Amino acid sequence: MTADSRNEILLEVESIFLSFGGVHALSDVSFDIRKGEVRSIIGPNGAGKSSMLNVINGFYHPQEGSITYQGKRRSQMKPHEAALGGIARTFQNIALFRGMSTLDNIMTGRNTKMSKGLFWQALHFGPAKREEIENREFVEHVIDFLEIQTIRKTPVGRLPYGLQKRVELGRALAAEPTLLLLDEPMAGMNLEEKEDMSRFILETNEEFGTTIALIEHDMGVVMDISDRVVVLDYGRKIAEGTPEEVRANQNVIDAYLGVSHD
Protein backbone atom coordinates (compact mmCIF):
# COMPACT_ATOMS: atom_id res chain seq x y z
CA MET A 1 0.00 0.00 0.00
CA THR A 2 1.46 3.34 -0.94
CA ALA A 3 1.12 6.32 1.34
CA ASP A 4 -1.17 8.05 -1.16
CA SER A 5 -3.78 5.39 -1.55
CA ARG A 6 -3.76 4.87 2.17
CA ASN A 7 -5.09 8.32 2.70
CA GLU A 8 -7.89 7.90 0.22
CA ILE A 9 -11.25 7.62 1.95
CA LEU A 10 -13.21 4.50 1.13
CA LEU A 11 -16.19 5.01 3.37
CA GLU A 12 -17.48 7.93 5.33
CA VAL A 13 -20.47 8.02 7.65
CA GLU A 14 -21.76 11.43 8.68
CA SER A 15 -24.06 12.31 11.57
CA ILE A 16 -25.74 8.94 11.70
CA PHE A 17 -28.82 8.76 13.92
CA LEU A 18 -30.46 5.39 14.43
CA SER A 19 -33.09 4.53 16.99
CA PHE A 20 -35.38 1.64 17.75
CA GLY A 21 -38.49 2.99 19.38
CA GLY A 22 -37.07 4.85 22.34
CA VAL A 23 -33.61 3.30 22.19
CA HIS A 24 -31.00 5.53 20.57
CA ALA A 25 -28.58 3.00 19.17
CA LEU A 26 -26.53 5.63 17.34
CA SER A 27 -26.56 9.40 17.84
CA ASP A 28 -24.65 11.74 15.60
CA VAL A 29 -21.87 9.31 14.76
CA SER A 30 -19.37 10.34 12.09
CA PHE A 31 -16.10 8.76 11.07
CA ASP A 32 -14.32 7.54 7.97
CA ILE A 33 -12.47 4.47 6.85
CA ARG A 34 -9.44 4.87 4.59
CA LYS A 35 -8.50 2.52 1.84
CA GLY A 36 -6.34 -0.34 3.05
CA GLU A 37 -6.51 0.32 6.77
CA VAL A 38 -7.66 -1.80 9.67
CA ARG A 39 -10.18 0.37 11.45
CA SER A 40 -11.41 -0.90 14.79
CA ILE A 41 -14.68 0.02 16.42
CA ILE A 42 -14.66 -0.52 20.15
CA GLY A 43 -16.89 0.30 23.08
CA PRO A 44 -18.74 -1.29 25.99
CA ASN A 45 -21.68 -3.66 25.50
CA GLY A 46 -24.64 -2.03 23.85
CA ALA A 47 -22.58 0.90 22.62
CA GLY A 48 -23.95 0.57 19.10
CA LYS A 49 -21.00 -1.12 17.37
CA SER A 50 -22.95 -3.88 15.66
CA SER A 51 -25.65 -1.39 14.74
CA MET A 52 -22.98 0.69 13.01
CA LEU A 53 -21.91 -2.26 10.84
CA ASN A 54 -25.55 -2.97 10.07
CA VAL A 55 -25.96 0.60 8.88
CA ILE A 56 -22.88 0.30 6.69
CA ASN A 57 -24.06 -2.81 4.89
CA GLY A 58 -27.65 -1.72 4.61
CA PHE A 59 -29.32 -4.01 7.08
CA TYR A 60 -30.38 -1.11 9.28
CA HIS A 61 -31.59 2.15 7.79
CA PRO A 62 -30.63 5.20 9.84
CA GLN A 63 -33.21 7.94 10.42
CA GLU A 64 -30.67 10.65 9.68
CA GLY A 65 -27.20 11.00 8.27
CA SER A 66 -25.39 9.91 5.16
CA ILE A 67 -23.09 7.14 4.03
CA THR A 68 -20.52 7.81 1.34
CA TYR A 69 -19.03 4.65 -0.10
CA GLN A 70 -16.55 4.77 -2.98
CA GLY A 71 -17.46 8.38 -3.63
CA LYS A 72 -21.20 7.79 -3.81
CA ARG A 73 -23.25 9.46 -1.12
CA ARG A 74 -26.56 8.03 0.06
CA SER A 75 -28.85 8.33 3.04
CA GLN A 76 -28.93 4.55 3.42
CA MET A 77 -27.40 1.43 1.91
CA LYS A 78 -29.34 -1.52 0.61
CA PRO A 79 -27.99 -4.98 1.48
CA HIS A 80 -27.85 -6.07 -2.12
CA GLU A 81 -26.19 -2.85 -3.22
CA ALA A 82 -23.59 -3.22 -0.47
CA ALA A 83 -22.85 -6.80 -1.49
CA LEU A 84 -22.43 -5.85 -5.14
CA GLY A 85 -20.31 -2.87 -4.09
CA GLY A 86 -17.83 -5.20 -2.41
CA ILE A 87 -18.87 -4.99 1.24
CA ALA A 88 -18.77 -8.37 2.99
CA ARG A 89 -19.15 -9.20 6.64
CA THR A 90 -19.14 -11.75 9.42
CA PHE A 91 -21.58 -11.73 12.31
CA GLN A 92 -21.29 -11.49 16.05
CA ASN A 93 -23.53 -14.54 16.39
CA ILE A 94 -22.36 -16.87 13.66
CA ALA A 95 -24.71 -16.72 10.71
CA LEU A 96 -23.52 -19.65 8.63
CA PHE A 97 -25.78 -21.78 6.46
CA ARG A 98 -25.90 -24.62 8.93
CA GLY A 99 -27.21 -27.33 6.66
CA MET A 100 -24.49 -26.81 4.05
CA SER A 101 -20.89 -27.99 3.93
CA THR A 102 -17.91 -25.71 4.46
CA LEU A 103 -17.29 -25.77 0.74
CA ASP A 104 -20.88 -24.86 -0.14
CA ASN A 105 -20.93 -22.07 2.41
CA ILE A 106 -17.83 -20.51 0.93
CA MET A 107 -19.06 -21.12 -2.62
CA THR A 108 -22.23 -19.25 -1.68
CA GLY A 109 -19.99 -16.35 -0.80
CA ARG A 110 -19.09 -16.21 -4.50
CA ASN A 111 -22.72 -15.49 -5.33
CA THR A 112 -22.12 -12.01 -6.69
CA LYS A 113 -19.42 -13.36 -9.01
CA MET A 114 -21.70 -15.95 -10.57
CA SER A 115 -24.50 -15.29 -12.98
CA LYS A 116 -25.32 -18.26 -15.19
CA GLY A 117 -29.05 -18.93 -15.35
CA LEU A 118 -31.25 -21.80 -14.40
CA PHE A 119 -31.21 -23.36 -17.86
CA TRP A 120 -27.46 -23.92 -17.99
CA GLN A 121 -27.46 -24.87 -14.33
CA ALA A 122 -30.01 -27.60 -14.99
CA LEU A 123 -27.81 -29.03 -17.73
CA HIS A 124 -24.64 -28.47 -15.68
CA PHE A 125 -22.96 -27.92 -18.96
CA GLY A 126 -21.05 -25.30 -20.90
CA PRO A 127 -21.01 -21.86 -19.28
CA ALA A 128 -22.50 -23.01 -15.97
CA LYS A 129 -19.97 -25.78 -15.53
CA ARG A 130 -17.08 -23.50 -16.47
CA GLU A 131 -18.30 -20.84 -14.06
CA GLU A 132 -18.63 -23.41 -11.29
CA ILE A 133 -15.10 -24.69 -11.79
CA GLU A 134 -13.50 -21.24 -12.03
CA ASN A 135 -15.16 -20.17 -8.82
CA ARG A 136 -14.31 -23.44 -7.15
CA GLU A 137 -10.67 -22.70 -7.89
CA PHE A 138 -10.90 -19.37 -6.13
CA VAL A 139 -12.70 -20.95 -3.20
CA GLU A 140 -9.94 -23.53 -2.88
CA HIS A 141 -7.44 -20.68 -2.48
CA VAL A 142 -9.55 -19.32 0.36
CA ILE A 143 -9.72 -22.78 1.91
CA ASP A 144 -5.94 -23.15 1.69
CA PHE A 145 -5.40 -19.66 3.06
CA LEU A 146 -7.56 -20.37 6.11
CA GLU A 147 -6.11 -23.87 6.52
CA ILE A 148 -9.48 -25.60 6.58
CA GLN A 149 -8.86 -28.23 3.89
CA THR A 150 -9.82 -31.12 6.14
CA ILE A 151 -13.31 -29.83 6.87
CA ARG A 152 -14.16 -28.99 3.26
CA LYS A 153 -17.06 -31.43 3.02
CA THR A 154 -18.25 -31.27 6.63
CA PRO A 155 -21.68 -29.73 7.29
CA VAL A 156 -20.84 -26.57 9.23
CA GLY A 157 -23.42 -27.30 11.90
CA ARG A 158 -21.14 -30.09 13.12
CA LEU A 159 -18.01 -27.92 13.40
CA PRO A 160 -16.68 -26.52 16.69
CA TYR A 161 -17.27 -22.82 17.31
CA GLY A 162 -13.78 -21.61 16.44
CA LEU A 163 -13.83 -23.32 13.07
CA GLN A 164 -17.30 -21.99 12.32
CA LYS A 165 -15.95 -18.48 12.80
CA ARG A 166 -13.16 -19.29 10.40
CA VAL A 167 -15.57 -20.65 7.79
CA GLU A 168 -17.63 -17.52 8.13
CA LEU A 169 -14.53 -15.45 7.43
CA GLY A 170 -13.94 -17.67 4.41
CA ARG A 171 -17.43 -17.03 3.12
CA ALA A 172 -16.81 -13.29 3.38
CA LEU A 173 -13.38 -13.54 1.74
CA ALA A 174 -14.82 -15.54 -1.13
CA ALA A 175 -16.57 -12.39 -2.28
CA GLU A 176 -13.15 -10.70 -2.75
CA PRO A 177 -14.44 -7.79 -0.69
CA THR A 178 -13.19 -4.23 -0.93
CA LEU A 179 -14.43 -3.57 2.59
CA LEU A 180 -14.62 -6.39 5.10
CA LEU A 181 -16.74 -5.89 8.22
CA LEU A 182 -15.84 -8.22 11.09
CA ASP A 183 -18.13 -8.28 14.12
CA GLU A 184 -16.20 -9.78 17.02
CA PRO A 185 -14.41 -12.44 14.98
CA MET A 186 -12.50 -13.65 18.04
CA ALA A 187 -15.24 -13.69 20.64
CA GLY A 188 -15.28 -16.90 22.62
CA MET A 189 -11.99 -18.16 21.21
CA ASN A 190 -9.01 -19.50 23.08
CA LEU A 191 -5.62 -17.83 22.81
CA GLU A 192 -4.34 -20.03 20.00
CA GLU A 193 -7.48 -19.55 17.94
CA LYS A 194 -7.27 -15.81 18.51
CA GLU A 195 -3.70 -15.76 17.26
CA ASP A 196 -4.69 -17.67 14.14
CA MET A 197 -7.58 -15.33 13.51
CA SER A 198 -5.43 -12.21 14.02
CA ARG A 199 -2.94 -13.62 11.54
CA PHE A 200 -5.66 -14.25 8.94
CA ILE A 201 -7.04 -10.76 9.37
CA LEU A 202 -3.63 -9.13 9.05
CA GLU A 203 -2.68 -11.25 6.05
CA THR A 204 -5.96 -10.47 4.35
CA ASN A 205 -5.27 -6.82 4.89
CA GLU A 206 -1.65 -6.93 3.79
CA GLU A 207 -1.74 -9.40 0.92
CA PHE A 208 -5.05 -8.51 -0.71
CA GLY A 209 -5.19 -4.88 0.37
CA THR A 210 -8.63 -5.46 1.83
CA THR A 211 -9.89 -2.63 4.00
CA ILE A 212 -11.14 -3.93 7.33
CA ALA A 213 -13.58 -2.60 9.90
CA LEU A 214 -13.21 -4.64 13.05
CA ILE A 215 -15.28 -4.83 16.20
CA GLU A 216 -13.37 -6.49 19.00
CA HIS A 217 -13.45 -6.55 22.78
CA ASP A 218 -9.95 -7.92 23.29
CA MET A 219 -7.90 -4.73 23.72
CA GLY A 220 -4.63 -6.53 23.19
CA VAL A 221 -5.71 -7.60 19.74
CA VAL A 222 -7.19 -4.22 18.90
CA MET A 223 -4.00 -2.39 19.87
CA ASP A 224 -1.90 -4.88 17.91
CA ILE A 225 -3.61 -4.94 14.59
CA SER A 226 -5.51 -1.69 14.07
CA ASP A 227 -4.32 1.40 12.27
CA ARG A 228 -7.00 3.61 13.77
CA VAL A 229 -9.68 3.12 16.36
CA VAL A 230 -13.08 4.73 16.90
CA VAL A 231 -14.72 4.43 20.30
CA LEU A 232 -18.48 4.38 20.82
CA ASP A 233 -20.34 4.60 24.10
CA TYR A 234 -24.10 4.79 24.49
CA GLY A 235 -24.45 5.35 20.76
CA ARG A 236 -22.09 8.31 20.64
CA LYS A 237 -18.57 8.61 19.39
CA ILE A 238 -16.41 9.47 22.38
CA ALA A 239 -12.96 9.23 20.87
CA GLU A 240 -10.95 8.27 17.84
CA GLY A 241 -7.37 8.06 16.73
CA THR A 242 -4.42 5.70 16.73
CA PRO A 243 -4.43 2.90 19.31
CA GLU A 244 -2.01 4.87 21.50
CA GLU A 245 -4.10 8.02 21.39
CA VAL A 246 -7.25 6.14 22.23
CA ARG A 247 -5.65 4.25 25.04
CA ALA A 248 -4.58 7.50 26.65
CA ASN A 249 -7.95 9.22 26.18
CA GLN A 250 -9.69 10.07 29.44
CA ASN A 251 -13.23 9.61 28.00
CA VAL A 252 -12.32 6.09 26.93
CA ILE A 253 -10.88 5.20 30.29
CA ASP A 254 -14.02 6.51 32.00
CA ALA A 255 -16.31 4.61 29.64
CA TYR A 256 -14.51 1.36 30.25
CA LEU A 257 -14.30 1.87 33.96
CA GLY A 258 -18.02 2.58 33.96
CA VAL A 259 -17.94 6.15 35.22
CA SER A 260 -21.55 7.28 35.49
CA HIS A 261 -23.02 9.50 32.83
CA ASP A 262 -24.63 12.64 34.06
Ligand X SMILES: Nc1ncnc2c1ncn2[C@@H]1O[C@H](COP(=O)(O)OP(=O)(O)OP(=O)(O)O)[C@@H](O)[C@H]1O
Contact 239, 27 (CB under 8 A): no
Letter string b/e over residues 15-52, b meaning 16 or more CB atoms within 10 A of that residue's CB? ebebeeeeebbbbebebbbbbbbbbbbbbeeebbbbbb
Binding mask 39-68 for Mg ion (x = CB under 5 A): -----------x------------------
Question: What residues between 7 and 36 interact with ligand X by CB under 6 A?
Answer: 20, 23, 25
CA 179 – CA 201 distance, rounded (Å): 12
Nearer to Mg ion, 183 or 240 (CB): 183
CA 55 – CA 49 distance, rounded (Å): 10
Query: Is 79 among the residues that bind other proteins (CB under 8 A)?
Result: yes
Instruction: Please report how close the Cβ of residue 40 comes to ligand X at its closest, in angstroms.
Output: 13
Report CA dihedral (162, 246, 6, 171) to the nearest 10 degrees: 20
**Which of 6, 74, 98, 141 contacts other proteins by CB under 8 A?**
98
Question: What residues between 148 and 187 interact with Mg ion by CB under 5 A?
Answer: none
In eight-state DSSP terms, residue 155 is B
Binding mask 197-236 for other proteins (x = CB under 8 A): ----------------------------------------
Residue 256, sorted as left (phi over 0), alpha (psi -120 to 50) or beta, turns out to be: alpha
Return all residues near 163 (Cβ < 8 A) that are at least 6 apart. Answer: 148, 151
Nearer to Mg ion, 126 or 188 (CB): 188
Size of residue set near ligand X by CB under 6 A: 12
Instruction: Count Cβ atoms below 10 Å from residue 162 Cβ, excluding itself.
Output: 16
Query: Is 55 among the residues that bind other proteins (CB under 8 A)?
Result: no
Query: Is 102 among the residues that bind ligand X (CB under 6 A)?
Result: no
What residue type is 6 in one-letter code?
R
Nearer to other proteins, 35 or 171 (CB): 171
Of 1, 48, 163, the C-alpha closest to 94 is 163
Q: Enumerate binding residues for ligand X (CB under 6 A).
A: 20, 23, 25, 43, 45-51, 92
Q: Which residues bind other proteins (CB under 8 A)?
A: 57-59, 79-80, 82-84, 88-89, 91, 95-100, 104, 107-109, 111-112, 114, 116, 118, 121-124, 128-129, 131-133, 136-137, 140, 171, 175
Q: Kindly list the residues in this chain that would bind Mg ion in the complex (CB under 5 A).
A: 50, 92
